[in-house]
Structure 1
Amino acid sequence: MSVFLDSELTEAERKAEDALFTIIPVPLERTVSYGSGTVKGPQAIIEASNELERGCNGVEPCASGIATQDPINCDGPLPDVMERLAQRTEEAVKVGKIPVTLGGEHSLSYGAVSGVARALGKP
């Protein structure tokens, strides 16, 4: 499995149980209206993340931990994919994590936000 910021994180910063941020790759390509390739977006972002620095403007988010989850299964009906994504973001928020979804398609926002809303008790 590829890891976000692989070249920059220490082993301690990668530990899922301790990381504040959790990366959720969503290789979805369903509702694109111009071209294709969003299915490759999460992996491309993860690979490019190795060129990033640990800090920016004196802040170092890596120190709070960044764990990378396995990609969401994007097979099957779109509502099922959205529910799988919602479950992941909901679980992350419930245990005090900040979910970060990586994709390329705008429709994944629905699933991601739905899960966060459920975790926060918002309909």
Structure 2
Amino acid sequence: MENKNYGGLESEFTAYETAEIVVLPVPYDGTSTWLKGADKGPDAILEASANMELYDIETDSEVYTHGIATLEPVTEASSPEAMSQEVEKQVDKILTDKKFPVILGGEHSVSIGAFRAFAKHYDKFSVLQLDAHSDMRSEYEGSTHNHACVMARAKEVATVAQVGIRSSAIEEKENIMPDRIFYAHDLHDAKEGNNWMYMVSQKLHDNVYITIDLDVFDPAIVPATGTPEPDGLYYREVLNFLKLINERHNIVGLDVVELCPNDINKSSDFLASKLIYQILSIKYQNQSNN
């Protein structure tokens, strides 16, 4: 893969100085506990993105014209804590430069540094988690920066809302806030249709950081993830939900994590890259280029 720019973009649209959007690959897989391979996720997303059409039909827009710079990958991997510090440093710079960060994991621990960087720039913000797992352990396997602890760390710096959850350990119950978690089975069984989307929105501050673990999706459509859980969400309901969030809030940053690509089926890679592009298209559809 020669062109490692997101979208396969040429240099006209990838210069950091003029780009409004910055992609930060973090190929870290140090704390995953079952299927390995999340460190290959960023490259797989970037490779798949080069095969997307850059015109988005739904928004009638070409968001790449706002400029999308792709940084060199974060290579710090000596510990999850050290990796988080490096991510925090780089995201802090992106925010200082008034650009929109998109972090590519890697496993979910890559998000911790991003949360802390945002806390330096926003007095109040929310972390909206889309995930199969609650990730609310205080510590796991001797680390507070394990991928199973991500939302416990988020809760230290932001308000949180958790969507699509369908797996949790008993010891996480003390950290889970019942009014801020939206279990997948409740969403599937909801008699009010999409009313749950508005209920989630009511839990969020104006500024919202979105963290998407790809295992939030049903494994029928995203099998290539570290811990594929049955009974997940589907692409259209997730996209419609994020459209509503964009209408009611200011999306300030985004990460997509836990892609474990394989050589047999590339559909998960493409879904991840397309999801990012559609979220960006939704966010920027009514904004003129700088």
Q: TM-score, normalised by structure 1?
A: 0.89
Q: Which residue of 2 aligns with 1:17?
A: 17
Q: Which residue of 2 aligns with 1:79?
A: 81
Q: Which residue of 1 aligns with 2:276?
A: none
1:70 deviates by 0.3
1:25 deviates by 0.4
Q: Which residue of 1 aligns with 2:48?
A: 48
CA contact (8 A) 1:91 1:119 kept: no
Task: Write the distance in 1 (CA, Å) between the matches of 2:47 and 2:117.
Answer: 26
Residue 93 of structure 2 is aligned to residue 91 of structure 1: yes
After superposition, residues 1-16 of structure 1 pair within 5 angstroms as 2-6=4-8, 9-16=9-16
| Greater alpha carbon shift after TM alignment, 61-70 vs 111-120 | 111-120
Which of 71, 81, 104 is equivalent to 2:106?
104
Instruction: Determine helix, strand or coil for the equivalent of 1:70.
Output: coil
Q: TM-score, normalised by structure 2?
A: 0.40
Instruction: Determine helix, strand or coil for the equivalent of 1:51.
Output: coil
Cα deviations across residues 78-117 of structure 1 (Å, max 9, x unaligned)?
1111010011111101111001001131111111121122
Which of 56, 68, 71 is equivalent to 1:69?
71
Alignment gaps of 5+ in structure 2: 125-156, 158-290
Count of equivalent residues: 121
Report the AA paired with residue 97 of structure 2. V
Identity %: 31
Task: Write the distance in 2 (CA, Å) between the matches of 1:83 and 1:21.
Answer: 21
Instruction: Determine helix, strand or coil for the equivalent of 1:5.
Output: helix
Alignment gaps of 5+ in structure 1: none
Task: Write the distance in 1 (CA, Å) between the matches of 2:48 and 2:118.
Answer: 27
More strand by share: 2
Cα deviations across residues 5-55 of structure 1 (Å, max 9, x unaligned)?
11xx34321111000110100000022122100111101111111111212
1:121 deviates by 5.1
CA contact (8 A) 1:27 1:74 kept: no
Which of 1 and 2 has greater Rg? 2
Report the AA paired with residue 68 of structure 1. T
1:2 deviates by 1.6
1:59 deviates by 2.2
> Cα RMSD between the aligned structures?
1.6
Gap change, CA 1:2 and 1:10, over 3 Å in 2: closer
Task: Write the distance in 1 (CA, Å) between the matches of 2:123 and 2:91.
Answer: 13
Task: Write the distance in 2 (CA, Å) between the matches of 1:4 and 1:26.
Answer: 14
Report the AA paired with residue 76 of structure 1. S
Q: Which residue of 2 aligns with 1:32?
A: 32
Q: Which residue of 1 aligns with 2:277?
A: none
